Amino acid sequence: MCGRYVSARKKAELLEEFQVELDGVEDEPAPDYNVAPTKEVYAVLCRIPKTGGAELRPVRQLRRVRWGLVPSWAKDPSIGSRMINARIETVAVKPAFRAAFASRRCLIPADGFYEWMPVPGERPGETRKQPYFIHPADGGVLAMAGLYEFWRDPNRPPDDPERWLCTCTVITTTAEDRVGRIHDRMPLLLDRDRWADWLDPEFPDPAALLIPADPGRLRAHPVSTRVNSVRNNGPELIKPVEINQGAGDVMLF
């Protein structure tokens, strides 16, 4: 699964990298080195804007949405905490995701993501979970395939601007070989030449786009267990650390 990641780029960088036409983020958030479920996150999506006089065509936008997809039919938004990931194998048919998969697909920018690997503990027979930071070798931005959805709060009046909640989920796939030694799942990463089709709400066959990016572009290193707590944040979380001999040397790739 993908349960933590890093989003530290400035908004201006994301607007340029993803060739965004409409900036829908009013207040730029601080860099986040420990993005966790239910947080507000960046998402790139294509929708017809509601601004007056705009062309009636989908426009590529940068938005802030909540991580943890809440289906439109949900009775309350608490279900979102269990919908942070959608498996590539079932995303097209699972009731919670299939409507969004058909026409509400997005890209979720990330500088990298965390996964935890069981390693030997201090005592014989013990194991502990060592966090690793997995990131592009070239320092670029990852485009994680995602879905977004709108949920209307039935307890708020129709004219309440807070009655609509926009949420997202990250699609996961089988991890490529080297990442798979840390965890068997990873985010579905999309190459740039698939971005336009993935974001197009009218693309006729989105299942044909469920192709992971070319392997071999990711690197990983062990990081401090401080990342285990969502209360900790800052660039020190992604700095490499030394771990017990034999526990992590093979993972430094």
Annotated catalytic residues are 2, 115
Whether the Cβ atoms of residue 132 and residue 5 lie closer than 8 Å to each other: no
Phi–psi pair at 180, nearest 5 degrees: -65, -20
Measured from the Cβ of residue 76, the count of other Cβ atoms closer than 10 Å reads 11
Residue type, 11: K
In the structure encoding, which two tokens stand for residue 49, read together?
Answer: 């804007």
DSSP assignments along the chain, one per residue: ----EEE---HHHHHHHTT-SEE--SSPPPPEEEE-TTSEEEEEEEE---STT--SS-EEEEEEEEES---TT-SSGGGGGG-SEEETTTTTT-TTTHHHHHH-EEEEEESEEEEEEEEE-SSTT-EEEEEEEEEETTS--EEEEEEEEEEE-TTS-TT-GGGEEEEEEEEEEEPPHHHHTT-SEEE-B--GGGHHHHH-TT-S-GGGG--PPPSS-EEEEE--GGGGSTT--SGGGGS-----TTTSGGG--
In the structure encoding, which two tokens stand for residue 142, read together?
Answer: 């990852």
